[in-house]
Chain A
């Protein structure tokens, strides 16, 4: 296994299979917290934090606990519980470590439990069978890298979208299309642009 695997993992999960625009994961925060650039960046940072840790923990949980016990079917329940408790834990740790960081991220962290991108990436890391392809621990590294790339892609799209929305505030939009409809159409056009990146990396 060479380093290109990691590069491809980051590149493809960030740009080509973008979580929001290509896989439709995490659309709720994408539409909900993108009115201001500051809150969009805060949400992205919180998502990155939780997504990487969740990918790490869920991968280990699956291969070290569920597979040996042959209870793979409780995957969904155990993953969502892990993510929910992880969110609580991260919230507590951030609160202890840095009051300033907690003030800027705290609101968003509570919202993350219902962010489907976190669970989606955790489940997808299992279905893509990194452990079978690369071995248990190298697979773990690839899974975490994929999660990191996905979080970067989420942040990129959130940032771009929030800046567009700030400009849209002042634009002369027909009354019926104001607010969510025009944002969805904007997102659609952004998705068209991202669709052009498909096929760069096999």
Chain B
């Protein structure tokens, strides 16, 4: 009995961790934190850096908010969350400036702007302020991972479309290498605009549309399946009725 209960708890924790990946993905489902998702996803490298920073800030702020949730007066909870979040953002800013200066230069103004990322404030308000510390930590980490995943997907497409490279400036060995079957120089087909401002909007819009399309296909399939089930059941019921009538007729005869 105790074991099943424990397992259930484990399961729910796993669900808590993974819900941010697809079902409640902060960028693609809830459209939270779109500013950094548009601005720093020119390359996979920068997206990865931004995602890691957000994971750190989100987990930290969730833990602290959850720790002191009982002492925060309801009326001033949002300013207190903002102070907690901006403390972590300051820590992250100073750390990147000291140990990852190239990343600090690339993300620039978007490091202090993590403070106003709606994702972090949203998680503090809707989850961390109501749940226990370890749950809040798992939630923050999972949501951060979902955010990182979304940024990397966007960054991958943008870097590929704008430079022809897969990630970190690495090209597929397709062009002018002896022995390769297809000779496509992906650099030739690159479109600069995707690495700059317009590409961010276009790529996120197209990705959202494709995800919607897949979701609609899935829903239609489910709907058809349901319709078929209903038909089947109706048919079975009809069959049974007929059989019963036949039996009755047989008994009479």
Contact = CB atoms under 8 A, between A and B. Distances in A.
Interface stretch (A34-42, A95-103, A120-128): A120-128
Given A127-B109, A184-B201, A195-B198, A80 B34 contact: no
B201 A191 contact: yes
A73 to B, nearest CB: 6
Given A73-B90, A176-B212, A24 B35 contact: yes
Given A181-B208, A181-B212, A75 B112 contact: yes
Interface string A140-159: 00000000000000000000
B121 A114 contact: yes
A22 B197 contact: yes
Interface string B198-241: 11111011101110110010000000000000000000000000
Nearest to A173: B209
A188 B201 contact: yes
B15 interface: no
Contact of B90 (A77, A114, A189): A77
B38 interface: yes
A133 B68 CA distance: 45
A184 B202 contact: yes
Contact of A188 (B31, B83, B202): B202
A84 B83 CA distance: 11
A120 B109 contact: yes
A116 B119 CA distance: 13
Given A23-B197, A80-B115, A123-B113, 8 more contacts: A24-B36, A24-B39, A24-B200, A28-B118, A181-B205, A181-B206, A185-B202, A185-B206
Interface string A87-123: 0000000000000000000000000011110011001
A70 interface: no
Interface in A168-190: 174-178, 180-185, 187-189
Contacts of A119: 112-113, 115-116
B201 A185 contact: yes
Q: A interface, by DSSP: helix, strand, loop or mixed? A: helix
Nearest to B192: A195
9 contacts: A28-B118, A76-B115, A81-B83, A120-B113, A127-B109, A177-B209, A181-B212, A191-B197, A195-B193
Contacts of B115: 76, 80, 119
Interface of A: 21-28, 31, 73-77, 79-81, 84, 113-116, 119-120, 123-124, 127, 174-178, 180-185, 187-189, 191-192, 194-195
Question: Which 3 pairs show the lowest CB-CB distances between chains A and B?
Answer: A184-B205, A188-B201, A188-B202
A95 B128 CA distance: 33
B77 to A, nearest CB: 12
A68 to B, nearest CB: 20
A25 B210 CA distance: 25
Contacts of B198: 21, 188-189, 191-192, 195
B113 A116 contact: yes
B75 to A, nearest CB: 12
A192 B193 contact: yes
